[in-house]
Structure 1
Protein backbone atom coordinates (compact mmCIF):
# COMPACT_ATOMS: atom_id res chain seq x y z
CA UNK A 1 0.00 0.00 0.00
CA UNK A 2 2.93 2.37 0.57
CA UNK A 3 3.21 3.41 -3.13
CA UNK A 4 -0.40 4.66 -2.89
CA UNK A 5 -0.05 6.33 0.50
CA UNK A 6 -0.87 9.86 -0.65
CA UNK A 7 -4.02 8.86 -2.57
CA UNK A 8 -5.30 6.73 0.34
CA UNK A 9 -4.55 9.46 2.90
CA UNK A 10 -6.45 12.00 0.84
CA UNK A 11 -9.45 9.70 0.37
CA UNK A 12 -9.54 8.88 4.09
CA UNK A 13 -9.35 12.57 5.01
CA UNK A 14 -12.14 13.50 2.62
CA UNK A 15 -14.45 10.84 4.04
CA UNK A 16 -13.38 11.09 7.67
CA UNK A 17 -16.12 11.39 10.28
CA UNK A 18 -16.13 11.47 14.06
CA UNK A 19 -16.94 7.92 15.18
CA UNK A 20 -18.14 9.41 18.46
CA UNK A 21 -21.30 10.62 16.68
CA UNK A 22 -22.20 6.95 16.07
CA UNK A 23 -20.92 5.56 19.37
CA UNK A 24 -23.26 2.92 20.81
CA UNK A 25 -21.14 1.52 23.63
CA UNK A 26 -21.18 1.99 27.41
CA UNK A 27 -22.04 5.51 28.53
CA UNK A 28 -19.32 5.33 31.20
CA UNK A 29 -16.83 5.27 28.33
CA UNK A 30 -18.52 7.84 26.11
CA UNK A 31 -18.57 10.54 28.80
CA UNK A 32 -14.77 10.56 28.85
CA UNK A 33 -14.33 10.89 25.07
CA UNK A 34 -13.89 14.04 22.96
CA UNK A 35 -13.45 12.62 19.46
CA UNK A 36 -12.60 9.43 17.52
CA UNK A 37 -11.20 10.28 14.08
CA UNK A 38 -10.16 7.64 11.50
CA UNK A 39 -7.19 8.12 9.18
CA UNK A 40 -4.11 6.20 8.03
CA UNK A 41 -0.53 6.20 9.26
CA UNK A 42 2.77 4.42 8.65
CA UNK A 43 3.70 1.88 11.33
CA UNK A 44 6.78 -0.33 11.02
CA UNK A 45 7.06 0.51 7.33
CA UNK A 46 3.45 -0.44 6.60
CA UNK A 47 0.43 1.71 5.85
CA UNK A 48 -2.16 1.01 8.54
CA UNK A 49 -5.51 2.27 9.68
CA UNK A 50 -5.06 4.87 12.41
CA UNK A 51 -7.67 6.11 14.87
CA UNK A 52 -6.97 9.35 16.75
CA UNK A 53 -8.76 9.16 20.12
CA UNK A 54 -8.98 12.34 22.17
CA UNK A 55 -10.26 11.92 25.71
CA UNK A 56 -10.81 13.91 28.90
CA UNK A 57 -9.91 11.19 31.37
CA UNK A 58 -8.00 7.96 31.02
CA UNK A 59 -9.98 4.74 30.74
CA UNK A 60 -9.63 1.46 32.55
CA UNK A 61 -8.40 -1.59 30.64
CA UNK A 62 -11.98 -2.87 30.51
CA UNK A 63 -13.20 0.48 29.12
CA UNK A 64 -10.42 0.65 26.52
CA UNK A 65 -11.32 -2.84 25.31
CA UNK A 66 -14.98 -1.83 25.01
CA UNK A 67 -13.97 1.23 23.00
CA UNK A 68 -11.73 -0.84 20.73
CA UNK A 69 -14.66 -3.16 19.99
CA UNK A 70 -16.76 -0.17 18.97
CA UNK A 71 -14.03 1.12 16.67
CA UNK A 72 -13.51 -2.33 15.13
CA UNK A 73 -17.24 -2.39 14.40
CA UNK A 74 -16.97 0.93 12.56
CA UNK A 75 -14.15 -0.42 10.41
CA UNK A 76 -15.96 -3.69 9.63
CA UNK A 77 -19.64 -2.77 9.28
CA UNK A 78 -19.89 1.01 9.53
CA UNK A 79 -17.60 3.68 8.11
CA UNK A 80 -15.10 1.15 6.79
CA UNK A 81 -17.76 -0.71 4.81
CA UNK A 82 -18.65 2.50 2.97
CA UNK A 83 -15.01 3.45 2.46
CA UNK A 84 -14.06 0.15 0.85
CA UNK A 85 -16.73 0.77 -1.81
CA UNK A 86 -15.08 4.03 -2.83
CA UNK A 87 -12.94 3.85 -5.95
CA UNK A 88 -9.52 5.49 -5.47
CA UNK A 89 -7.81 6.36 -8.73
CA UNK A 90 -4.13 5.40 -8.84
CA UNK A 91 -1.58 4.91 -11.58
CA UNK A 92 -2.63 1.84 -13.48
CA UNK A 93 -6.21 1.54 -12.31
CA UNK A 94 -8.63 1.73 -9.39
CA UNK A 95 -7.89 0.85 -5.76
CA UNK A 96 -10.43 -0.22 -3.12
CA UNK A 97 -9.12 -0.23 0.45
CA UNK A 98 -10.36 -2.61 3.15
CA UNK A 99 -9.43 -1.49 6.67
CA UNK A 100 -10.84 -4.61 8.32
CA UNK A 101 -10.46 -8.33 7.69
CA UNK A 102 -11.96 -11.29 9.60
CA UNK A 103 -8.54 -12.75 10.45
CA UNK A 104 -5.57 -10.92 11.90
CA UNK A 105 -7.29 -7.61 12.66
CA UNK A 106 -5.95 -6.04 15.84
CA UNK A 107 -5.71 -2.59 17.42
CA UNK A 108 -2.34 -1.54 18.83
CA UNK A 109 -2.19 1.63 20.98
CA UNK A 110 0.86 3.68 19.96
CA UNK A 111 0.04 7.14 21.39
CA UNK A 112 -2.65 9.02 23.26
CA UNK A 113 -4.14 12.48 22.95
CA UNK A 114 -5.64 14.28 25.93
CA UNK A 115 -7.36 17.64 25.83
CA UNK A 116 -4.95 18.99 28.45
CA UNK A 117 -2.01 18.71 26.05
CA UNK A 118 -0.49 21.87 24.61
CA UNK A 119 -1.75 22.59 21.12
CA UNK A 120 0.77 21.45 18.49
CA UNK A 121 2.61 24.02 16.43
CA UNK A 122 0.73 25.11 13.34
CA UNK A 123 2.36 24.20 10.01
CA UNK A 124 3.17 27.20 7.80
CA UNK A 125 1.40 27.93 4.53
CA UNK A 126 1.55 31.09 2.41
CA UNK A 127 -1.67 32.34 0.86
CA UNK A 128 0.11 34.61 -1.60
CA UNK A 129 0.29 32.98 -5.02
CA UNK A 130 -2.79 30.76 -4.64
CA UNK A 131 -5.47 31.08 -7.30
CA UNK A 132 -8.27 32.11 -4.93
CA UNK A 133 -10.02 28.74 -5.08
CA UNK A 134 -11.02 28.11 -1.45
CA UNK A 135 -11.26 24.36 -1.98
CA UNK A 136 -7.72 24.23 -3.35
CA UNK A 137 -6.48 26.25 -0.37
CA UNK A 138 -8.46 24.05 2.03
CA UNK A 139 -7.04 20.90 0.45
CA UNK A 140 -3.47 22.14 0.79
CA UNK A 141 -4.02 23.17 4.42
CA UNK A 142 -5.61 19.81 5.24
CA UNK A 143 -2.65 17.98 3.67
CA UNK A 144 -0.19 20.02 5.77
CA UNK A 145 -2.12 19.21 8.94
CA UNK A 146 -2.16 15.49 8.14
CA UNK A 147 1.58 15.54 7.45
CA UNK A 148 2.00 17.26 10.85
CA UNK A 149 0.08 14.46 12.58
CA UNK A 150 -3.01 16.62 13.17
CA UNK A 151 -5.67 14.47 11.52
CA UNK A 152 -8.45 15.49 13.91
CA UNK A 153 -7.68 19.17 13.31
CA UNK A 154 -7.81 18.56 9.55
CA UNK A 155 -11.30 17.06 9.83
CA UNK A 156 -12.50 19.82 12.15
CA UNK A 157 -11.14 22.54 9.84
CA UNK A 158 -12.87 21.01 6.80
CA UNK A 159 -16.16 20.82 8.69
CA UNK A 160 -16.02 24.46 9.81
CA UNK A 161 -15.06 25.76 6.38
CA UNK A 162 -17.84 23.75 4.75
CA UNK A 163 -20.38 25.53 6.97
CA UNK A 164 -18.86 28.95 6.27
CA UNK A 165 -20.74 31.32 3.95
CA UNK A 166 -17.92 33.72 3.06
CA UNK A 167 -14.57 33.29 1.29
CA UNK A 168 -12.69 35.60 3.67
CA UNK A 169 -14.23 34.01 6.75
CA UNK A 170 -13.13 30.65 5.37
CA UNK A 171 -9.58 31.96 5.02
CA UNK A 172 -9.74 33.12 8.63
CA UNK A 173 -10.81 29.66 9.80
CA UNK A 174 -8.02 27.99 7.81
CA UNK A 175 -5.57 30.46 9.34
CA UNK A 176 -6.50 29.20 12.82
CA UNK A 177 -5.15 25.76 11.94
CA UNK A 178 -2.17 26.60 9.71
CA UNK A 179 0.12 29.59 10.03
CA UNK A 180 -0.67 32.07 7.24
CA UNK A 181 -0.38 35.81 6.71
CA UNK A 182 -3.80 36.13 8.36
CA UNK A 183 -3.09 34.05 11.47
CA UNK A 184 -3.57 35.60 14.90
CA UNK A 185 -0.91 34.71 17.52
CA UNK A 186 -2.22 31.94 19.76
CA UNK A 187 -1.55 33.91 22.93
CA UNK A 188 -4.24 36.44 21.94
CA UNK A 189 -7.82 35.75 23.08
CA UNK A 190 -10.32 34.70 20.39
CA UNK A 191 -12.84 37.19 19.06
CA UNK A 192 -16.08 36.30 20.91
CA UNK A 193 -18.25 38.26 18.45
CA UNK A 194 -16.89 36.29 15.47
CA UNK A 195 -17.31 32.99 17.31
CA UNK A 196 -20.92 33.82 18.19
CA UNK A 197 -21.75 34.77 14.61
CA UNK A 198 -20.07 31.64 13.27
CA UNK A 199 -22.08 29.46 15.64
CA UNK A 200 -25.32 31.13 14.52
CA UNK A 201 -24.48 30.14 10.94
CA UNK A 202 -23.98 26.50 11.89
CA UNK A 203 -20.18 26.54 12.11
CA UNK A 204 -18.21 24.40 14.52
CA UNK A 205 -16.79 26.04 17.63
CA UNK A 206 -13.71 24.59 19.26
Structure 2
Protein backbone atom coordinates (compact mmCIF):
# COMPACT_ATOMS: atom_id res chain seq x y z
CA UNK A 1 0.00 0.00 0.00
CA UNK A 2 1.40 3.45 -0.89
CA UNK A 3 2.61 5.55 1.98
CA UNK A 4 2.38 9.34 2.04
CA UNK A 5 5.67 11.12 2.70
CA UNK A 6 5.91 14.66 3.97
CA UNK A 7 8.33 17.30 2.69
CA UNK A 8 10.38 17.23 5.89
CA UNK A 9 10.89 13.46 5.50
CA UNK A 10 12.01 13.77 1.89
CA UNK A 11 14.98 15.99 2.74
CA UNK A 12 16.91 12.80 3.56
CA UNK A 13 16.53 11.73 -0.09
CA UNK A 14 17.31 15.04 -1.81
CA UNK A 15 20.36 13.71 -3.64
CA UNK A 16 18.61 10.55 -4.89
CA UNK A 17 15.67 12.60 -6.17
CA UNK A 18 17.97 15.14 -7.84
CA UNK A 19 19.85 12.30 -9.57
CA UNK A 20 16.56 10.79 -10.78
CA UNK A 21 15.56 14.19 -12.18
CA UNK A 22 18.88 14.32 -14.03
CA UNK A 23 18.09 10.97 -15.65
CA UNK A 24 14.82 12.43 -16.98
CA UNK A 25 16.72 14.93 -19.12
CA UNK A 26 16.40 13.98 -22.79
CA UNK A 27 19.31 14.44 -25.19
CA UNK A 28 17.18 16.47 -27.61
CA UNK A 29 16.47 18.99 -24.83
CA UNK A 30 20.14 19.97 -24.75
CA UNK A 31 21.01 22.79 -22.36
CA UNK A 32 17.51 24.26 -22.64
CA UNK A 33 15.71 21.45 -20.82
CA UNK A 34 11.96 21.91 -20.70
CA UNK A 35 12.20 25.34 -22.38
CA UNK A 36 12.09 23.60 -25.77
CA UNK A 37 8.45 22.69 -25.05
CA UNK A 38 7.22 26.24 -24.42
CA UNK A 39 4.02 27.02 -26.33
CA UNK A 40 4.16 30.80 -25.86
CA UNK A 41 6.28 32.24 -28.69
CA UNK A 42 7.56 35.29 -26.78
CA UNK A 43 8.57 33.11 -23.83
CA UNK A 44 10.27 30.74 -26.23
CA UNK A 45 12.56 33.61 -27.25
CA UNK A 46 13.09 35.02 -23.72
CA UNK A 47 13.55 31.81 -21.71
CA UNK A 48 16.85 30.05 -22.33
CA UNK A 49 16.40 27.06 -20.02
CA UNK A 50 13.99 25.40 -17.59
CA UNK A 51 15.43 22.63 -15.41
CA UNK A 52 13.36 20.79 -12.75
CA UNK A 53 15.17 20.18 -9.48
CA UNK A 54 14.65 19.94 -5.73
CA UNK A 55 15.93 22.09 -2.90
CA UNK A 56 15.88 21.79 0.87
CA UNK A 57 14.65 24.96 2.48
CA UNK A 58 13.25 25.65 5.91
CA UNK A 59 13.43 21.96 6.84
CA UNK A 60 11.40 20.73 3.86
CA UNK A 61 12.14 19.46 0.36
CA UNK A 62 10.67 21.63 -2.38
CA UNK A 63 10.23 20.91 -6.06
CA UNK A 64 11.79 23.79 -7.97
CA UNK A 65 12.21 24.94 -11.54
CA UNK A 66 15.53 26.61 -12.28
CA UNK A 67 14.97 29.13 -15.07
CA UNK A 68 17.52 31.11 -17.07
CA UNK A 69 16.22 34.01 -19.16
CA UNK A 70 17.48 36.60 -21.58
CA UNK A 71 16.59 39.67 -19.51
CA UNK A 72 13.81 40.17 -17.00
CA UNK A 73 10.33 38.79 -17.58
CA UNK A 74 7.31 41.07 -17.29
CA UNK A 75 4.62 40.19 -14.78
CA UNK A 76 2.49 38.78 -17.61
CA UNK A 77 5.37 36.72 -18.95
CA UNK A 78 6.09 35.38 -15.47
CA UNK A 79 2.45 34.35 -15.06
CA UNK A 80 2.55 32.65 -18.47
CA UNK A 81 5.75 30.83 -17.47
CA UNK A 82 4.04 29.64 -14.27
CA UNK A 83 1.13 28.35 -16.39
CA UNK A 84 3.56 26.49 -18.66
CA UNK A 85 5.27 24.93 -15.61
CA UNK A 86 1.89 23.97 -14.14
CA UNK A 87 1.11 22.14 -17.39
CA UNK A 88 4.47 20.37 -17.35
CA UNK A 89 3.90 19.24 -13.74
CA UNK A 90 0.41 17.90 -14.36
CA UNK A 91 0.60 16.48 -17.88
CA UNK A 92 4.12 16.66 -19.30
CA UNK A 93 7.37 16.08 -17.48
CA UNK A 94 5.65 15.48 -14.12
CA UNK A 95 3.27 12.83 -15.39
CA UNK A 96 6.18 10.71 -16.60
CA UNK A 97 8.46 11.38 -13.64
CA UNK A 98 5.89 10.29 -11.06
CA UNK A 99 5.58 6.89 -12.76
CA UNK A 100 9.26 6.00 -12.42
CA UNK A 101 10.67 5.01 -9.04
CA UNK A 102 13.45 6.79 -7.23
CA UNK A 103 15.44 3.98 -5.65
CA UNK A 104 16.32 4.43 -1.98
CA UNK A 105 17.78 2.06 0.59
CA UNK A 106 14.33 1.12 1.92
CA UNK A 107 12.70 0.59 -1.48
CA UNK A 108 11.14 2.91 -4.03
CA UNK A 109 9.85 6.48 -3.89
CA UNK A 110 7.41 7.85 -6.44
CA UNK A 111 7.64 11.63 -6.52
CA UNK A 112 4.95 13.88 -7.92
CA UNK A 113 5.49 17.56 -8.67
CA UNK A 114 1.71 17.94 -9.04
CA UNK A 115 -1.12 17.91 -6.53
CA UNK A 116 -4.50 19.21 -7.76
CA UNK A 117 -5.61 20.03 -4.21
CA UNK A 118 -2.54 21.76 -2.80
CA UNK A 119 -0.42 23.18 -5.57
CA UNK A 120 1.20 26.57 -5.78
CA UNK A 121 3.88 28.12 -7.93
CA UNK A 122 5.89 30.98 -6.50
CA UNK A 123 9.15 32.58 -7.43
CA UNK A 124 11.93 32.10 -4.92
CA UNK A 125 11.59 35.76 -3.97
CA UNK A 126 7.82 35.42 -3.45
CA UNK A 127 8.20 32.33 -1.28
CA UNK A 128 11.16 33.32 0.82
CA UNK A 129 10.10 36.95 1.08
CA UNK A 130 6.70 35.92 2.44
CA UNK A 131 8.31 33.53 4.90
CA UNK A 132 10.57 36.24 6.26
CA UNK A 133 7.61 38.60 6.67
CA UNK A 134 5.52 35.93 8.41
CA UNK A 135 8.04 34.96 11.06
CA UNK A 136 6.88 31.88 12.89
CA UNK A 137 4.20 30.95 10.36
CA UNK A 138 4.73 27.75 8.40
CA UNK A 139 4.26 28.06 4.65
CA UNK A 140 2.04 25.71 2.68
CA UNK A 141 3.47 22.48 1.32
CA UNK A 142 5.72 22.31 -1.71
Structure-1-length-normalised TM-score:
0.51
- Structure 2 residue 77 is the aligned partner of structure 1 residue 63: yes
Provide the C-alpha distance between the structure 1 equivalents of 2:85 and 2:17, rounded to a whole number of angstroms. 19
What's the CA shift for 1:32? Answer: 1.1
2:56 to 39, 42, 45: 42
Kindly name which structure, 1 or 2, has the bigger radius of gyration based on alpha carbons: 1
What is the CA–CA distance in structure 1 between the aligned matches of 2:67 and 2:106, rounded to whole Å? Answer: 35
Secondary structure of 1:97's partner? coil
Given candidates 12, 15, 23, the residue that maps to 2:38 is: 23
What is the deviation of 1:88? 1.5
Bigger relative contact order (CA 8 A; separation at least 6)? 2
Cα drift, residue 53 of structure 1: 0.7
2:98 aligned partner: 84
The whole-number CA distance in structure 1 between the counterparts of 2:63 and 2:35 is 17
| SS of match in other structure, 1:31 | helix
CA-atom RMSD in angstroms: 1.4
Which residue, out of 87, 106, 110, partners 2:120? 106
**Deviation beyond 3 Å, 4+ runs, structure 1:** none
Counterpart position of 1:9:
18
CA distance in 1, matches of 2:77, 2:102: 35
- Structure 2 length-normalised TM: 0.72
Distance (whole Å) between structure 1 residues aligned to residue 51 and residue 96 of structure 2:
15
1:107-122 maps to which residues of 2 (within 5 A)? 107-110=121-124
Using the TM superposition, give the Cα deviation of residue 80 of structure 1 relative to its aligned residue in structure 2, in angstroms. Answer: 0.7
How many residues matched? 110
Query: 1:28, CA displacement in angstroms?
Result: 2.0
Give the deviation of 1:35 after TM superposition: 0.8
1:75 matched to 2:67? The reply is: no
Say whether the 8 Å CA contact 1:75–1:81 is kept in structure 2: yes
More strand by percentage: 2
Aligned counterparts, 1:54-203, within 5 A: 54-110=68-124
